[in-house]
Amino acid sequence: MASAAANRARLIAASATVSLLSTWLFVQFSAPGGFNTLDGLRVALVAISTFWLSWGALLGIAGLFYRPKNSAPLPLSPPVGRCAVVVPIYNEDPVATFSRIAAMSAGLSRLGLHDQFDFVVLSDTNSPEITAEEIEWFDRLASQAEARGHFFYRRRSENIGRKSGNVEDFIRRSGAAYTYAVILDADSLMSPETLVLLARRMDADPTLGLLQTVPKIIGARTFFGRIIQFGASYYSSTFARGTALIQDAQGPFWGHNAIVRMTAFADNCGLPRLSGKPPFGGQILSHDYVEAALLSRAGWKVEVDPDIDGSFEEGPENIIEYAKRDRRWCQGNLQHARLLTAPGLHWWNRFTFLQGIMAYLGSPIWLAFLAASILSVGMPRTSYITFSQQVASNIAAWSLVGLITSLLVLPKFLIVISSALNGTNRKFGGMRAVLASAGTEIVFSSLIAPITLLMQTRSVFQVLFGIDGGWPATSRNERSLTLKQAWEASYWIVMIGAVVLAVTLAIAPNLFLWLLPVIVPMALAPMLIAYSSMVSDGRDGLLLMTAEEYNVVPTIDARDRVRSHWQSA
């Protein structure tokens, strides 16, 4: 297998080639009438956006060629090191959180391997009512579990540093008692076999500082939630394999569902407080990428293994909750601009920071290209266009549209074909069910793309203009939205769509049909947001079903039984 450095070089070269081809096609499309003052800007925007678009697409395609490292399977035997399963919580539903811990604990007891694992709940809850519930349900958890004495609850009176500060405080106070820590989110769930495997993998490689799993989303009930759940369950492992292929030992950390070596994390991952005020100063919000870079700088391996099963989380159930979470990630990723020149970091970690930044700058770049294109049509051209030049221009335009569409759809299509060949589709209900689900996901993702583009653009401008989004508590129970709620959250998108339509008809009517796929979703934003938040059970039509829904997963089933029992009590 080629080295990670060679794979990185190939991927960068391939993305640059696609970017150059896209730019050349755009120039051929624009050139016949002569260039005006906006065309140079449009060329630059096309080059930048298609590079990063092709980067994401090629990452997924590269994952199809991933081959896991040759390593013998590790037996389910007690790990050498003691492990803390750390669960930071902040105004969460205690029944939901502690029922997950109860299911994981029961699984470890069933395997007879609980002695090396403690569950540590780190509460930053600031609601007195929820705090009282946490104490009540934790007492029930600790008293009813087989492995008594392996549960700890600690609540901070001051939420300093938020989640990363909470974990850091635990490591400073109690980290020396443990060799490893599995860091979870409040909605995370892991099978006991996975917990043991992670610790055994750390035992087997003393240079491994962090091992990240690829969690699958479970428990979605709304149409939007099921779209996200299907995509994560069906596509994510392939894209993560592409990440593993090029990042190797300088891999990612996503902040949860991962195991860290306690000494490595404690010695190297103390986060600085950035100078100045938020949003660019203050606490680092997207701490996970920074912690991974600091471990790599100190010589520790940071790896992601897409082939580890039994790692789960829950996702947002509507577009508004998704946008709230995305707003925090946007601010955190843009903060990384200040860390690009931090001393001692590997160049690949700097590139990862840049990749995260461009994940959000890509939206305003596309919006700027759209605006420049509308305005450019209304500006005078310097030469007369012949019929043959017009034909060539149209061919170039449609070729560019086809190329961009391919970048968006081709990786998913290839994953469907590959999954059919290796038998994965059978776990998702067979080829017919997969095609229906994948087609639904692609169509709906295309429909809401203009909506999410505007939401991300707003987030970017809020950060650039100094508006701090903070770290709001996650509303995991927020599901269905009324049309009124959707309108209140998205009326500004409808207004922007109306302005784009009016300006297009006034100065660039020949672009009207081209812009319909953008304008129509903007106009329908409240309806799309409200409809997609409706509770939707795909079992009737076998639509958007995942492998975890077709086959009973013992840990998920145990969590459901505990939660049902507690809620009835």
Intervals of CATH 3.90.550.10 along the chain: 83-275+284-318
How much is the average pLDDT of 58-82?
A: 83
Q: Which tokens is 433 given?
A: 């069910």
Q: 3-class SS at 260?
A: strand
pLDDT tens per residue across span 242-268: 999 998 899 899 999 999 999 999 999
pLDDT digits (tens, 9 = 90+) for 313-364: 999 999 999 999 999 999 999 999 999 999 999 999 999 999 999 999 999 9
Superfamily covering domain 83-275+284-318: Spore Coat Polysaccharide Biosynthesis Protein SpsA; Chain A (3.90.550.10)
What is the helix (H) or strand (E) element at residue 478, kind and residue range? Answer: none
**Residue of higher predicted confidence among 394 and 222:** 222
For position 477, what pLDDT does the model report? 60
Q: How confident is the model at residue 59 (pLDDT cuts 50, 70, 90)?
A: very high
- How much of the chain is helix, strand and coil, in % rounded to 5? 65, 10, 30
| pLDDT surpasses 80 at 382 | no
What is the per-residue pLDDT for 24? 93
What integer pLDDT is reported at residue 255 of this predicted model? 93
Pairing of strands 301-304, 208-212: parallel
What CA–CA distance (Å, rounded) separates 396 from 495? 32
Distance CA 550, CA 425 (A): 12
Angle at 401 between CA 400 and CA 407, to 5 degrees: 90
521-558 per-position pLDDT tens digit: 999 999 999 999 998 765 545 789 999 999 889 999 99
Average pLDDT for residues 366-384, to the nearest whole number? Answer: 79
What is the gyration radius of the CA atoms in the chain, in angstroms? 25
Higher pLDDT, 149 or 301: 301
Distance CA 198, CA 418 (A): 28
Integer Cα distance of 167 and 158 in angstroms? 13
Strand 189-190 with 311-313, pairing? antiparallel
Give me 569's structure tokens.
């009590």
* DSSP assignment letter at 293: H
> So what's the pLDDT on residue 406?
94
pLDDT higher than threshold 80 for residue 366: yes
* Lowest-confidence pick of 434-438, 477-481, 500-504: 477-481
State residue 272's pLDDT score.
86
* CA dihedral of residues 516, 521, 524, 529 (deg, nearest 10): 170
Vertex 72: Cα angle to 69 and 76 (nearest 5): 125
From first CA to last CA, the distance across the chain in angstroms is: 56
Predicted TM-score (pTM) of this structure:
0.93
Residue 33: predicted pLDDT: 63
In the block, residue with structure tokens 């840049």: 354
Q: What is the mean pLDDT of the chain?
A: 91
Distance between CA atoms of 336 and 356, rounded to whole angstroms? 8
Q: 181: closest CA among 251, 255, 113?
A: 255
Could you tell me which residues are beta bridge partners of residue 312?
Answer: 189, 216
Q: How sure is the predictor about 510, in pLDDT bands with cuts at 50, 70 and 90?
A: confident
- H or E segment and range at residue 490: helix 483-507
Q: What local confidence, expressed as pLDDT, does residue 540 receive?
A: 47
Task: State the pLDDT confidence band at 70, using cuts at 50, 70 and 90.
Answer: low
Mean pLDDT to the nearest integer, 486-498: 96
* Separation between Cα atoms, residue 228 and residue 232, nearest integer Å: 6
Q: Per residue in 168-219, pLDDT tens?
A: 999 999 999 999 999 999 999 999 999 999 999 999 999 999 999 999 999 9
CB atoms within 10 A of CB 341: 8
Q: Return the residue matching tokens 């159930």.
A: 317
Q: How far is CA 417 from CA 414, 422, 438, 483, in A?
A: 5, 9, 12, 38
Percentage, residues of the chain above pLDDT 70: 93
**Helix (H/G/I), strand (E/B), else coil: 259:** strand
Whether 381 shows a pLDDT value over 90: the answer reads no
Tokens of 360: 């959000």
Distances in Å between the Cα of 311 and the Cα atoms of 202, 233, 308, 325 are 17, 11, 8, 21
Quickly state the pLDDT bin for 158 (edges 50, 70, 90).
confident
What b/e sequence results for 387-412 when a residue is b if at least 16 CB atoms lie within 10 Å of its CB, and e otherwise?
A: eeeeebbeebbebbeebbeebeeebb
Q: How far apart are CA 539 and CA 532, in angstroms?
A: 17
Does residue 561 contact residue 569 with C-beta atoms inside 8 Å? Answer: no
pLDDT at 451: 97
Contact 33, 65 (CB under 8 A): no
Give Cα 105 to chain centroid, integer Å: 28
Judge contact between 504 and 511, C-beta under 8 A: yes
Give the residue with greater pLDDT, 459 vs 65: 459
The answer to whether 542 touches 429, Cβ cutoff 8 Å, is yes
- Sequence-separated (6 or more) residues with CB below 8 Å from residue 166: 88, 122, 124, 156, 159
| Cα separation, 317 vs 479, whole angstroms | 5
Question: How confident is the model at residue 476, as a pLDDT?
Answer: 58
What is residue 379's predicted lDDT score, i.e. its pLDDT?
A: 66
Alpha carbon distance 238, 411 (integer Å):
10
74-99: average pLDDT: 92
